[in-house]
Amino acid sequence: MTKTPGGEPVPPVTHDPASRRDFLKYSALAASVPALQSVLANPAAAAAPGAYAPVPPTAIGPQIPAKGYLVQEIGKRLYWLTDGFYQIMFLVTERHQGRKQRVIVVDAPPTLGGNILRAIEEVAPGARISHLVYTHYHADHIGAADKLRAAGVPKPVIIAHEQTAHLLRRVPESSRPPLPTRTVSSRYRLEVDDQVLELHYKGPNHSQDNLFVHAPRQKVLNVADIVYPGWVPFRNLVVSTDIPGWLKAHDQILEFDFATFIGGHLTRLGTRQDVEIQQEYLRDLEHHGRKAITEFVDVGYLFAKYPGNAWAIFKEYLDILTQTTADAVTPAWTGRLGGADVFTYDNAWTMVESLRLDHKVLGPFGTRP
């Protein structure tokens, strides 16, 4: 509970429209608390380096060897490759006498870079990359594609959503990954010898072009930047293009038949339960964000505090909503998901904005009678 410098608890906000006096009393007390002032001025101050909660055991993945990457077979010649921050999968075809094995790679993060080629050589010596699938256009997931393409003889077929090609073309050729050579509009089935990948487009979510990549025979699903097994999502709900679409993607993920989930990031593989746990965290954020907006009804004191400064008024209003939401959510999830104390404030800010802009939960800034 927030306390005054004298140790007295700050009374909870009643947010009764008829109780402006109580609200002003709360506001004055809250403004007098140095910790809250610091957070409102600089949210990063809420968790300075070295002050973060321990990472819970459920977020800890396998140890990365000294060579800088871990490669494991998680299905019939389907391999998971990770450096502890980024993760991809690749599939190797069956052996045929007199013909090289072929490899389908999904994404090419720069942090893995040449280790993708080393990992493939480690598990399938002499195999060649025949196909490279882009989950979406972001360079942190496909920025090393030029290295894989250059190593392929012949060059691999690059498959991506049609929007990926459009988005990449906006970037100068010198600073973008190679353009896809084959594009997908809604669904595509890739068969290479005995390996099968199904690519599905479900609409905009994290990005406009994000593909769901399903290996049905191995029951593995790869969807980047939606679910972070064992962890809260990256800040601002993964800086997603479409927050309602990003939230809906969790249900869309659960429609697939999979046992193992690859999310593109962090420490370990996921399961269906990891998707459901992240949904629970997000429902908690949405509930408390909605409550913060609807109960904060009197903003008159902000107009008096910052006369004529519209941005200052609205910034402090949003900061208070965000902090109220984060304060309600963070304690319940610290120790349950990694980084709950690190990114819940940022995630609360984005959830509040999505509620306001996408769902018309506008509080005191709603339709005037």
- List, for residues 131-171, the tens digit of each pLDDT value: 999 999 999 999 999 999 888 768 999 999 999 999 999 99
**Residue 21 pLDDT grade (very low, low, confident, very high; cuts 50, 70, 90):** very low
pLDDT at site 49: 53
pLDDT at site 29: 33
Give me the phi and psi of 309, to 5 degrees please: -105, 85
Give me the phi and psi of 63, to 5 degrees please: -70, 140
pLDDT at site 3: 35
Q: Is 169 helix (H, G, I), strand (E, B) or coil?
A: helix
Contacts 24+ apart (CB under 8 A), 270-277: 270/227, 270/229, 270/230, 271/229, 274/227, 274/229, 274/230, 275/227, 275/250, 277/336, 277/337
pTM here? 0.84
- Residue 258: pLDDT over 90: yes
Q: Which two tokens stand for residue 179?
A: 């353009």
Over pLDDT 70: what percentage of the chain? Answer: 86
CB 60 within 8 A of CB 267: yes
CB 270 within 8 A of CB 256: no
pLDDT at site 296: 86
- Residue 83: pLDDT over 80: yes
Give me the phi and psi of 74, to 5 degrees please: -120, 0
Q: Is 217 helix (H, G, I), strand (E, B) or coil?
A: coil
Q: What is the pLDDT of residues 286-343, one digit of tens each?
A: 999 999 999 987 888 999 999 999 999 999 999 999 999 999 999 999 999 999 999 9
Q: Which two tokens stand for residue 183?
A: 């594009």
Q: What is the pLDDT of residues 191-231, one digit of tens each?
A: 999 999 999 999 999 999 999 999 999 999 999 999 999 99
CB 252 within 8 A of CB 210: no
